[in-house]
Chain A
Amino acid sequence: MPYLSELLDHKVKDSADVVIGRLRDILISPKAAEYQPLEYLVVETKKDGENILIPYSFIGSFSLRAVVLKAPINKITVVPETDDNNWVYLKRDVMDEQIVDVAGARLVRVNDLRLNIFKDKMSVVGIDVSTKGLLRRMGLEWLDFGDWLKVNLIDWRHTQPVRGILKLDTVARNLNKLHPADLANVIEDLNVKAGSQLVVNLDAKSAAKVLEEVDPHLQKVLVKYLGPEKMSSILGQMSTDEIVDLLKTMPKDEAKIFLSYLQNQKAKKIEKLIKYEDDTAGGLMTAEYIRVSPDWTVGETIAEIKKVSSSLRSIIYVYVLGSDEKFLGAVSLRWLLISDPKKPIKDLVKTFPLSSVLRVDQDVEDVMKVMTKYDLYTAAVLDKEQRMLGVVTIDDVMRHLVPQA
Chain B
Amino acid sequence: MKDKLHHLWIKIIFFLGVIGPGIIAANADNDAGGITTYSITGAHFGTQMLWVLLLITFSLAITQEMGVRIGLVTRQGLGGIIRENFGVRLTALAMLMMLVANIGTITAEFAGIGSSFGILGVSKYLSVPLAALVVWFILYKGSFRTTQKIFLLFSFFYIVYIINGFVIGPDFGAAVKDMLKPTLEWNAPFLLTMIALIGTTITPWGQFFIQSYVVDKGLEIKHYKAEKVEVYAGAFITDIVSFFIIVSTAATLYKHGIRINDAADAAQALRPLAGDLAQFLFAFGLFVASMLGAFILPTATAYAICEAFGWEAGFDTTWENGKVFYSIILLTIFLPAAIVLIPGVSLIKIMIWSQDINGILLPFILIFVMKIINNKRIMGEYTNKPVGNIIAWLTIIGIILATVALVVTSFMGMN
Contact = CB atoms under 8 A, between A and B. Distances in A.
Interface string B290-332: 0000000000000000011110111010000100000000000
B170 interface: no
Contact of B314 (A189, A193, A220): A189
Interface stretch (B74-82, B353-361, B391-399): B74-82
B6 interface: no
B83 interface: yes
B76 A109 contact: no
Given A96-B83, A134-B88, A137-B87, A189 B313 contact: yes
Interface string B146-177: 00000000000000000000000000000000
A192 B92 contact: no
Interface in B49-95: 74-77, 80, 83-84, 87-89, 91-92
Contact of A191 (B89, B215, B310, B316): B215
A139 B89 CA distance: 9
Category for how many chain A residues contact B: 20 to 34
A96 B87 contact: yes
B218 interface: yes
Contact of B89 (A110, A137, A193): A137
A107 B89 CA distance: 21
Interface in A390-405: 404
A192 B215 contact: yes
A140 B147 CA distance: 41
A224 interface: yes
Nearest to B92: A138
A192 B87 contact: no
A108 B310 CA distance: 5
A109 B84 CA distance: 10
Interface string A114-140: 000000000000000100001001110
Contacts of A137: 87-89
Contacts of A134: 88, 92, 309
Given A96-B84, A137-B89, A404-B316, A191 B218 contact: no
A56 interface: no
Q: Which of B75, B83, B307, B321 has most A Cβ within 10 Å?
A: B75
A111 B88 contact: yes
B78 to A, nearest CB: 11
A220 B216 CA distance: 11
Contacts of B215: 191-192
Contact of B74 (A108, A193, A404): A193
Contacts of A107: 310, 312
Contacts of B92: 134, 138
A146 B25 CA distance: 45
B92 to A, nearest CB: 6
Contact of B75 (A97, A138, A193, A220): A193
Contacts of A174: none
Nearest to B89: A138
Nearest to B217: A221
B84 A191 contact: no
Given A96-B87, A109-B83, A137-B88, A192 B218 contact: yes
Interface residues of B, number: 26
Given A137-B89, A138-B89, A138-B92, A189 B312 contact: yes
A129 B88 CA distance: 12
A111 B218 contact: no
A404 B314 CA distance: 11
Contact of B88 (A108, A138, A193, A221): A138
A38 B332 CA distance: 44
A194 to B, nearest CB: 8
B309 A109 contact: yes
Nearest to B90: A138
Interface in B222-245: none
B310 A98 contact: yes
Given A96-B84, A191-B80, A111 B310 contact: yes
B242 to A, nearest CB: 33
Nearest to A109: B310
A387 interface: no
Contacts of A224: 218, 220
Given A96-B84, A97-B84, A109-B83, A221 B310 contact: no
Contacts of B80: 98, 191
Q: Which of B215, B307, B309, B310 has most A Cβ within 10 Å?
A: B310
Contacts of B308: 109
Contacts of A138: 88-89, 92
A225 interface: yes
A134 B305 CA distance: 13
Interface in A262-319: none
Contacts of B77: 191
Interface string A192-214: 11100000000000000000000
Contacts of A129: 310
Contacts of A110: 310
Given A106-B312, A138-B88, A221-B218, A191 B76 contact: yes
Nearest to A106: B312
A96 B76 contact: no
A229 B332 CA distance: 45
Contacts of B216: 192
Contacts of B217: 221
Interface in A46-71: none
Contacts of B314: 188-189
A106 B307 CA distance: 13
Interface in A121-174: 129, 134, 137-139
Nearest to A196: B75
B312 to A, nearest CB: 7
B75 A96 contact: no
Nearest to B310: A109
Interface string A94-108: 011110000000111
Interface string B26-61: 000000000000000000000000000000000000
Contacts of B309: 109, 134
18 contacts: A95-B87, A96-B88, A109-B309, A111-B88, A134-B88, A134-B92, A137-B88, A139-B89, A189-B313, A191-B74, A191-B77, A191-B307, A192-B216, A193-B75, A194-B76, A220-B218, A224-B218, A225-B218
Given A189-B313, A191-B215, A225-B220, 4 more contacts: A137-B87, A137-B88, A191-B80, A193-B76
Interface of B: 74-77, 80, 83-84, 87-89, 91-92, 215-218, 220, 307-310, 312-314, 316, 321
